[in-house]
Amino acid sequence: MLNKLFGSELRARILKKILASPEEKYYSQALGRDLKVALNPLRRELDNLEKLGLIVALTEIIAADGKKPKKEKKFFMVNRNFLLFNELKALFSKAQLFFVQEFLGRLAKITNLKYFVLTGQFSGNSTAITDMLIIGRLRREKFLPLIADLEKKLGREINFTIMDEAEFHYRRDIMDIFLYNILNNNKIVIIDNLELMKPKVKVPKTENK
């Protein structure tokens, strides 16, 4: 879908990667390894994005260590002042959710989901150490191919956490820090059969006459 829109599969993959974390520094070689692409076509696309104004090229000085002299190293960063930055970021965020929805449909066929929430890189919660919390009984041999396919489509690794309902309630009752951080920070709740989002109804007190 995005490949057709941007006219290049590699360009779409680069944009997905850098717009997901626009505050990061991107080095050509590291980016090439992450995307599993040769440097020459990668550099051509980066040059095109730089000419367009979406990314800027910067240089850092690496200090000498006694054996090697100091040198300059080039890296790229997303230009947040680019005219269409917000629109492009929103577009790729929505595309992410499209792929997640597809993943969710396949996941629902192998388990009865109780709770499914996106956090971490999906929600901008930089303190979360997971990107996806799944409550339900899952066989890992069936789940792992699904998450691998989603990672391929998104072009990056996804950190996930799976719990059954009993473990979830136990960790919630003891105010487990890991779980507390997920539930009380930025998140996107997709499925809530545990009714965690449902407000508690206060029963009015009655006076004895």
CATH code, domain carrying 37: 1.10.10.10
pLDDT at 186: 86
Tens digits of per-residue pLDDT, 53-64? 999 999 987 766
Query: Could you tell me if 75 and 162 lie in one domain?
Result: no
Tens digits of per-residue pLDDT, 153-203? 887 889 999 999 999 999 999 999 999 988 888 888 999 998 765 544 444
pLDDT at 140: 87
| 48 backbone φψ class: left, alpha, beta (φ>0; ψ -120 to 50) | alpha
User: Which pair of tokens denotes residue 110?
Assistant: 């192998």
pLDDT band at 208 (very low <50, low <70, confident <90, very high): low
User: Which pair of tokens denotes residue 55?
Assistant: 């990314």
- Count of the separate structural domains present in the chain: 2
Tens digits of per-residue pLDDT, 78-128? 999 999 898 888 888 777 788 888 999 999 888 888 999 999 888 877 778
pLDDT at 69: 66
Query: Could you tell me if 181 and 106 lie in one domain?
Result: yes
Query: Could you tell me if 78 and 115 lie in one domain?
Result: no
Residue 21 domain-assigned (yes or no): yes
Query: Could you tell me if 111 and 171 lie in one domain?
Result: yes
Query: Could you tell me if 39 and 97 lie in one domain?
Result: no
Identity of the amino acid at 57: A
Q: Domain residues for 68? A: 2-83
Query: Could you tell me if 104 and 186 lie in one domain?
Result: yes
Query: Using CA of residue 182, residue 188, residue 192, residue 195, what is the dihedral sign?
Result: positive
Lowest mean pLDDT among 1-5, 112-116, 130-134: 1-5
Residue 129 domain-assigned (yes or no): yes
Residue 173 domain-assigned (yes or no): yes
